[in-house]
Amino acid sequence: MKKITIIAMLLVVTAFSLNAQDNLTVPERHNLTIYGTMSLEDAEEISESHPDEIEILATSDDEAAVHMSEEATHLVHDLRGTHGPSYLYASNAIDAIKQIRHERVERAQQMNFSITEGESVENALQVISQSNIEDQIEELESYGTRYHTTAAARRAGVDLKAKWETMAATYGRDDVSVRLVDHSNASGGRTNMYSVIMTIKGAELPDEYVIIGGHLDSTSNNNNTAPGGDDDASGISVITEATRSLFEIGFVPKRTIEVMAYAAEEVGLFGSKDIANRYGRNNVNVVAVGQFDMSNFKSSSRDIYFVNDSNAIDPTLTGFFQDLLDEYHGPNSGDTITYSTTQCGYGCSDHRYWFENGYRTAFPFESSFRDFQNNNVIYHRTNDLMRNVPGGNANHSFKFAKLAVEYLIEVSKKSTTLSAPEFSQEGYELYVINNNLKYKSQSSSSPIKSLKVYDVTGKRVYRENGLGNAGSVSLNKFSAGAYVINIILENKKELSKKVILN
């Protein structure tokens, strides 16, 4: 009799659970369309004040896996004023519950960070332009809003790709490519907005990747036409100018650098989750990931605050970022940049899924999160414009651009080899005598289309088109040193020769 009673009780409990779950399918619960994770405190508060907008599926420590409405995503953002989307999107209930368990992929970390590239860093710091950062911020503000579903957001990705391609071509960087990433079928959150990735191929260790990124969208709410001058036009402008400075000094990296502008961060990290998961599944050897999300609203006493949440940040890489500031911007440097640490409380930007895929991450932020919440009066508002930040310019972002270029140089390292291959082919002559380059094509059907000269850093220092089948070019205009002579033939084949000029 006792066993029957217990079984009956279990059936009642099971039936109650099923009925409770079935309640989610009645009309008034159809608005629960989004799975995700957020802080347990926020989930409980929304559940109490708006019970029809959220269901708590599971909890772990101070986090909750939830099923919620779109309205709930706005409620949680308004509740805390937290940076980022305030929740992390999940594709289904199982994915949401898995996220709060923090099942991080384990990867062997073999990279030893070191500071050895002082000359290249100092050269880059001399050419970083605050006005370039300001121009880029205003350019992104001009879209009005970059909410991920808008035509403006999609166009922003296409336009940024063209801008980065033009920038690389201006400096003659044949080692650079730019691509759009389509997330329309991504399992971790779909968007028609593109992410943009610029790749600078490493000359010696091309299969080791150094990543720097920020997000290209501007707000979590389509009803809010926030132009996103600080969030995150400032971050995109920082990484763009840091990369341009590498081109300006002719820096050729040993390791491959990838510069990423992520789509749809504000609605749950859609773009970066898709990309990080792809890299993780393919076991891409990413040695470091730096995230630059908001850099221009100074509301704390220190200049840069490093997020140090243990569930999304690697302490080794974060410590290396701090070492860079100590080395290049310490108290006796004449260009002091101060720093401290802060906590977001959850994986609040695009570094989160890189971390979960086992990669080292760091996130320098514009202020402490307490001061951000209390003082950043333009965040996600229509007046999020550069003219409304303290100072009305990009002086604060300028400091982040310096840190960004130091990170890229010191982790990727300068290549010490000339990357152009030696090439010889019967029927062509290419040699240097008395500082004159002699060239000759024995085939009238394959004249020489163009000639380029690169210095030891990989920077193009000379170009001439339409040279015909034979002739010479004086190299006396160049200073002594090593160069690569590269000739493109009409049949698209190439001749390359390394030369030393005295």
User: Which residues are catalytically annotated?
Assistant: 215, 231, 265-266, 293, 380
- Distance, in Å, from the CA atom of 292 to the CA atom of 212, rounded to the nearest integer, reads 7
Residue keyed to tokens 């651009």? 401
Return the C-alpha torsion angle 183, 170, 289, 287, nearest 10. Answer: 110
Local structure of residue 190 (DSSP, 8 states): -
Return the C-alpha torsion angle 137, 139, 140, 144, nearest 10. Answer: 120
Residue 384 makes CB contacts below 8 A (sequence gap 6+) with 218, 226, 227, 228, 229, 230, 231, 378
- Assess contact for 225 and 142: CB atoms under 8 A: no
Local structure of residue 253 (DSSP, 8 states): B
Residue 112 makes CB contacts below 8 A (sequence gap 6+) with none
Q: Are strands 481-489 and 494-501 parallel, antiparallel or unpaired?
A: antiparallel
Tokens of 4: 């029957």
Burial 304-325 (b: 16+ CB within 10 A, else e): bbbbbbebbbbeebbebbbebb
Local structure of residue 195 (DSSP, 8 states): E
Residue keyed to tokens 């599971």? 58
Strands laid side by side in the 364-365 sheet: 339-342, 304-307, 364-365
DSSP-assigned states of every residue in 161-185: HHHHHHHHHHTT-TTEEEEEE--TT
Task: List beta partners, residue 66.
Answer: 36, 56
Q: From 390, 231, 371, select the one nearest 301 (Cα to Cα).
A: 371
SS3 percent helix, strand, coil of the chain, rounded to 5, is 35, 25, 40
- Assess contact for 485 and 451: CB atoms under 8 A: yes
The amino acid present at 24, given as its one-letter code, is: L
DSSP-assigned states of every residue in 325-342: HHHHHSTTSSS---EEEE
Within 10 angstroms of residue 483's Cβ, the number of other Cβ atoms is 23
The amino acid present at 383, given as its one-letter code, is: N
